[in-house]
Amino acid sequence: MGRLAILALLLPMAMQAQSLAPTGTLKFEVGSVKRSAPNAQGGGVQPAPGGRRYVGTNLDLRSYLYVAYQVRPEQITGGPSWVDTEHFDLNAEAEKPASIEDLHIMLQNFLTDRFQLKLHHESKEMAVYALVVDKGGAKNLKPHPGASGGDVVLARTTEGVIHDKWSAHCASMDFFTWRLSPWMDRPLLNQTNLDGCFDFDLSFTRDLPAGIKEGQLVNGAPIDTYGATIFQALPAQLGLKLEAKRGPVDVLVIDHAEKPSED
């Protein structure tokens, strides 16, 4: 499975250099990290219900960093070869329930401490999509105030290979943009200026995967391309739209990493 597919399954502005997820000094109260069991299958990382813990299984370090900083694969470079090949489980807990943004900061610091990371940032010019509010204004976004990180859900189901239905529960626009980005052909920037988290539903039809043709049988049923594309669905269903442009994107470079000792 490619990194974009893995990233999509995890889980969890004015034109300027795209910022990574917020950073800071917040830390988990306790945490552990260990090598995954040999031949372990599957993997993922997500906040646990209650908004106090982040739990990860059978993922390499670079994939954990994708989640902690909410970026695409092309936005993290460098590091020794093992950051892509050796898999780890982690379990970290905060002192009290926290927002998803604060949990990401804690996850960043946890990974930095346990893997002795040294990182620096660079800006790289890339083709991007900017998620903005359409001229008619945002719609069908129900505010969900006061929720903890463990309450964030962005469920995705697929019918007929390419017909997606997304259901969000307390998803911020930053989180939605990050989760949508792996299914696009370029990074996405959140330029909606919509703060807080929202409940909403979104249905759209993705492009056909490489090597698949319309009408081809998959699991005994022919594939069809009916339905709105993501570019049509966002304005019609949420009052948002994607604008294609070029702009500087923040890239995280791994200068140093060490394998953690077993807890």
Do 76 and 43 lie in a common domain?
yes
Do 160 and 210 lie in a common domain?
yes
With respect to residue 173, please indicate whether it lies within any of the assigned structural domains.
yes
Residue 212 structural domain: 126-247
Residue 212's pLDDT is what?
Answer: 66
With respect to residue 53, please indicate whether it lies within any of the assigned structural domains.
yes
Question: Using an 8 Å Cβ cutoff, are 129 and 182 in contact?
Answer: no
Res. 9 pLDDT band, cuts 50 70 90: very low
Angstrom distances, CA of residue 111 to CA of 30, 40, 118, 231: 13, 21, 11, 36
Do 115 and 161 lie in a common domain?
no
Residue 33's pLDDT is what?
Answer: 96
CA dist 74 and 181 (Å) reads: 12
Q: How far, rounded to the nearest angstrom, does the alpha carbon of residue 210 sit from its chain's CA centroid? A: 23
Using a 10 angstrom Cβ sphere, with 0-12 exposed, 13-18 middle and 19 or more buried, the burial of residue 124 is middle
Do 11 and 111 lie in a common domain?
yes
Residue 16's pLDDT is what?
Answer: 34
Question: Is 207's pLDDT higher than 90?
Answer: no
With respect to residue 193, please indicate whether it lies within any of the assigned structural domains.
yes
Question: Using an 8 Å Cβ cutoff, are 94 and 47 in contact?
Answer: no
Residue 252's φ and ψ, nearest 5 degrees, are -100, 125
Q: Which residue has the tokens 């009052």?
A: 239
Token digits of residue 162: 């390419």
pLDDT tens per residue across span 57-66: 999 999 999 9
Question: Is 94's pLDDT higher than 50?
Answer: yes
Do 61 and 103 lie in a common domain?
yes
With respect to residue 95, please indicate whether it lies within any of the assigned structural domains.
yes
Residues 22/23/29/30 CA torsion (nearest 10 deg): 100
Do 220 and 168 lie in a common domain?
yes
Question: Is 35's pLDDT higher than 90?
Answer: yes
Give the number of domains in the chain. Answer: 2
Q: Which residue has the tokens 């370090």?
A: 61
CA dist 12 and 4 (Å) reads: 13
Do 54 and 143 lie in a common domain?
no
Task: Kindly report which listed range (46-60, 212-226, 246-260) carries the lowest average pLDDT score.
Answer: 212-226
